[in-house]
Amino acid sequence: MFLFFSTECSEQQAILSPEESKHCVRVLRKKIGDEVLVTDGKGRLIHGIISTLSKDKTIIDVKSIKEYPPSEKSLHLVFAPTKNISRIEWMMEKCVEIGIHSFHPILCAHSERKVIKPERLNKIVLSAMKQSQRFHLPKIHELITLNDFIRNIDDSAKRILCHYEPGNIQLKDIDWALENYVLIGPEGDFSPEEIALLKKSNFKTCNLSNSRLRTETAAMMACATFNIVS
C-alpha cells in the first residue's frame, strides 16, 4: 500500500501537505472513507481513514499507530558531492533503501562541486523512504567544510575514514559503535593535508574494496557493508 508522509500528526489526526494531498487526489484517486498509511518519518506508522480531501489539504482520522524504534546502531555518511549531481542523487536514494541515519555533505580541497540543492535532495530521500516502506526519514545536513565538520563531530562517535592504504583493516571488520561516521573521499581524493588532519582527529583509516571505486559507489558500498555486518 502507498505510504504517505506527514509532519502534522497527532494521536487523532494526520494532515497531509498540499504536495502529498495532490498525489493522493490526482494520482492515486483516493476518496473520503479510504484507508491509508501515513508515517511521520520519526518511526510512527499510522493507519487511518480519509475524512477530508482536497488537493490542498487532506485530513486522515487515526485508527491505529504503530511505533518502530530506530535501529540500534547508526550510520552517518560523510561525503563530498560529485561534479555530476545525478551520481550523488542516485547514491542517496540507494542508501535510504539499504538503511542510513544521516548524510553529511562536505567541502574538501579537491571538491569540484561547491553547491547543492537541499530541497531536491530532501525530495529524493523522502521518496526513497516511502518507496522502501521505512518509517525513519534520514536527515541531510548542511554542506560545510571538512574543517567545520571535524570541529562539530560528537566525541563519543566512531570515526572511520575510507582511504586505501596497504595493511589497513577492511571496513567489514570494523568494530562498530552505536554512532558511526564514515568518510568517503571526493573524486580527486583527500589532499595529503586533509588525510593528516583526519588522522590527527582520531579517524581510523580502513579499506573498502580491492578495486578502485567511484566516490558514489564507495559511499553506497560503505552503507551496504554497515547494513550487512554491523
Contact between 1 and a copy of itself (CB under 8 A)?
no
Contact between 221 and a copy of itself (CB under 8 A)?
yes
Long-range contacts of 178-181 (CB under 8 A, 24+ apart): 178/72, 178/73, 178/74, 179/73, 179/74, 179/76, 179/154, 180/73, 180/74, 180/75, 180/76, 180/226, 180/230, 181/76, 181/78, 181/104, 181/153, 181/157
At 108, give phi and psi (nearest 5°): -115, 175
In angstroms, what is the minimal distance from the CB of 71 to a copy of itself?
A: 10
Nearer to a copy of itself, 50 or 223 (CB): 223
Contact between 212 and a copy of itself (CB under 8 A)?
yes
Nearer to a copy of itself, 21 or 74 (CB): 74
Nearer to a copy of itself, 7 or 131 (CB): 131
Contact between 172 and a copy of itself (CB under 8 A)?
yes
Q: In which element (H, E) is residue 95 found? A: helix 85-98
Round to whole Å and give the CA distance between 146 and 111. 11
**Residue 34, class by beta-carbon neighbours within 10 Å (0-12 exposed, 13-18 middle, 19+ buried)?**
middle
| List 134, 158, 159, 163, residue binding a copy of itself (CB under 8 A) | 134
User: Which residues within the stretch 31-50 sit at the binding site for a copy of itself (CB under 8 A)?
Assistant: none
| List 169, 178, 196, 229, residue binding a copy of itself (CB under 8 A) | 229
CA distances from 157 to 152, 160, 177, 223 (A): 12, 10, 7, 17
| List 131, 145, 152, 202, residue binding a copy of itself (CB under 8 A) | 131
Q: How far is CA 225 from the centre of its chain?
A: 15
| List 17, 132, 205, 230, residue binding a copy of itself (CB under 8 A) | 132
Nearer to a copy of itself, 97 or 179 (CB): 97
Grid coordinates of 207: 579499506
Stretch that binds a copy of itself, among 14-22, 107-115, 141-149, 221-229 (CB under 8 A): 221-229
Enumerate binding residues for a copy of itself (CB under 8 A). 90, 94, 97-99, 131-134, 172, 209, 211-214, 217, 220-221, 224-225, 227-229
